[in-house]
Chain A
Amino acid sequence: MGKHGWKWLLSAPALFVLVLAASGPLTIVLVYSFLSPGTLGGVSWEFSTEAWFRVFFSRDIFDPEVVTWNTAHLTIFWRSIWLSLQTTFICAVLGFPTAWFVATRSPHNRAFWLFLITIPFWTNLLIRTFAIQELIRNSGTINSLLMWMGAIEEPIQMLYTDFAVLVGMAYVFLPLMVLPLYAAMDKLDFRLVEAGYDLYASRWRVLRHVILPLVKPGFIAGSILVFIPAIGAYVTPRILGGGRTMMMGNLIGLQFGQGQNWPLGAAMSMLLLIIVVGALMMYLRVVNQGGGERRG
């Protein structure tokens, strides 16, 4: 320890609050996932791996030895993953041209366009989801407009479907794709693009073989930054999805109602966390590799 070895102690108060209200409670969740459920919610302090078992499997009511896949849970896990992947895809398709557009403005205008992307990112997610709800509800703007034009007789049921959740998530998470893509494009050396054209490459070939490989780290970073909040989404599926279009976050929330199975909810939370940490590790690898390439 050097002369300033005591300096880290300045972070002690912040660390205290974080341990108290973040990592401490998270550790309790891990412990709870290995306990037995209490009779009226809560837990009883007996070690058990039953909660983890029940995340994936269910037992026959009459014969506990008969084990089947818990299709109700698996359907929801699969829907969460599939919706998150689709969200990521939509964000990539819309986000790439948008980021390119921003990155190719003049430096003076660039700040303005970037600001336009960032504003929704910092405005309330609940309100943005509410805005989507108003658009797609049966008596909402889109249905009213279509009926007024005579395109449809009856309103189309969009709210409370997977489609609604998908639209909502793509809408709220889009800035998370545009920002890292923009960061990658901002550093792009346009002399390489020019060299491609000089060698008679078509626009498509330049895009495919020059631009895309160069901004790939931004693409991967953006995809993971969209995927992570999407897989853990709670508010958007709760408002736009119905009881039948739940996602993992909502299923976890349900386990903590009165008289529910807390250890099961704890185990599901840990599963969600494992998925998120896995995605995060991939993100860190990409970011670090990107840094290495630039230095090399």
Chain B
Amino acid sequence: MSAVVKPFSVRRLPGFGAIAILTFVLLYLPIVILVFYSFNAGQSQSNFEGFSLRWYAAAFANEQVQEVSVRSLWLAAAAAGIATVLATLAALGTTRVARFPGQTMIYALINQPLMVPEVVTGIALLIFVAFLKVQTGYTGMGYLVASHTAFCIPFAYLPIRARLETLDPTLESAAADLYASPVQAFRFITLPLLVPGILAGFMLSFVISLDTVVITEFVKSAGQDTLPTYMLGQLRRVVTPEMNAIATLFLALSLVIVTAFFLLTRKRG
């Protein structure tokens, strides 16, 4: 075979492929190293002394880690659950309707958590919650649930709305023609078709709530640490690979949810 001459391609730019591959490596290498050292038999983050699951065992046996993990999970489930119900209603109320006065304001309100820096939302909630704590004497988890719910609403709203916009409105008309009541048409036509969007919205909110650290940090009372705020507190010290093990498990959970989200929202055909 003689030397193969690469055909000229208008899509090729010299050096771009190399930089792109480098970027992908840079993007994943730190995470790979983090996961790698979670299996270290030794204490160190830089000297691998053999494969071991001892740090996973340590993480599972650590009562504080158990406590904050359970709190994070149920907080995320509660906030994502409430946010998804509210966002579904809001999407039904604002999608496929004629323009009405105040619509822009509703969009602005729904999207506010996306636009305002998290630290500003955090201190705003800190001020408000501090006031409420003094006035009502209640210091429970309700503040965190409400804060996370508000923060999750736009993330639940967007996929549900996107799904709703692709639905064919004639399906509901057809149901009405066949003497379905509006409630029946919603229950048996709209809602089943909306399920992938609702599931996607729930999963997205769940991940967002799990990841939220700044808002939790400012709103939480003593003894209300979540997994991210616990980690934030620990990171200032010299950490053992136990932290890598916790981070790896956390990453794995996020990865599973995000992958499921992708498969659910993937465009078919």
Contacts and interface: CB of A to CB of B under 8 A. Distances in A.
A95 B24 CA distance: 10
Contact of B251 (A127, A193, A197): A127
Given A122-B207, A134-B33, A171-B30, A8 B93 contact: yes
Nearest to B32: A131
A182 to B, nearest CB: 11
B125 interface: yes
Interface residues of A, number: 91
B33 A104 contact: no
Given A123-B258, A276-B117, A104 B150 contact: no
A229 B117 CA distance: 7
Interface string A10-41: 11111101111111111011001000000000
Interface in A98-141: 98, 100-102, 104, 111, 115-120, 122-128, 130-135, 137, 139-141
A12 B119 CA distance: 26
B97 interface: yes
Nearest to B134: A42
Q: Determine the interface band of chain B, counting residues with CB < 8 A from chain A.
A: 35 or more
Interface in A58-91: none
Nearest to A275: B117
Contact of B118 (A98, A131, A197, A232): A232
B98 interface: yes
Contacts of B26: 94, 171
Contacts of A133: 235
A94 B19 contact: yes
A141 B93 contact: no
Nearest to B9: A104
B254 A122 contact: yes
Contacts of B7: none
Nearest to A101: B20
Contacts of B258: 118-119, 122-123
Contacts of A21: 125, 128, 146-147, 149-151
29 contacts: A8-B102, A10-B92, A11-B89, A11-B93, A11-B94, A11-B110, A14-B90, A18-B113, A20-B150, A21-B149, A28-B127, A29-B120, A29-B127, A101-B16, A101-B20, A123-B251, A124-B211, A127-B231, A127-B250, A127-B251, A130-B34, A133-B235, A137-B45, A234-B119, A239-B235, A249-B117, A253-B123, A262-B127, A273-B117
Given A117-B27, A128-B30, 20 more contacts: A8-B97, A13-B86, A15-B90, A17-B149, A18-B109, A21-B125, A29-B123, A97-B15, A98-B20, A101-B21, A116-B27, A123-B254, A127-B251, A130-B231, A134-B45, A190-B11, A193-B11, A239-B232, A239-B236, A256-B123
Considering the complex of A and B, which 10 residue pairs feature the smallest CB-CB distances, nearest first? A232-B117, A10-B93, A101-B20, A144-B46, A25-B124, A21-B150, A131-B30, A11-B90, A97-B19, A14-B86
Interface of A: 1-2, 4-5, 7-15, 17-26, 28-29, 32, 42, 94-95, 97-98, 100-102, 104, 111, 115-120, 122-128, 130-135, 137, 139-141, 143-145, 171, 174, 190, 193-194, 197, 203, 207, 228-229, 231-232, 234-235, 238-239, 249, 252-253, 256, 262, 265-266, 269, 272-273, 276-277, 280
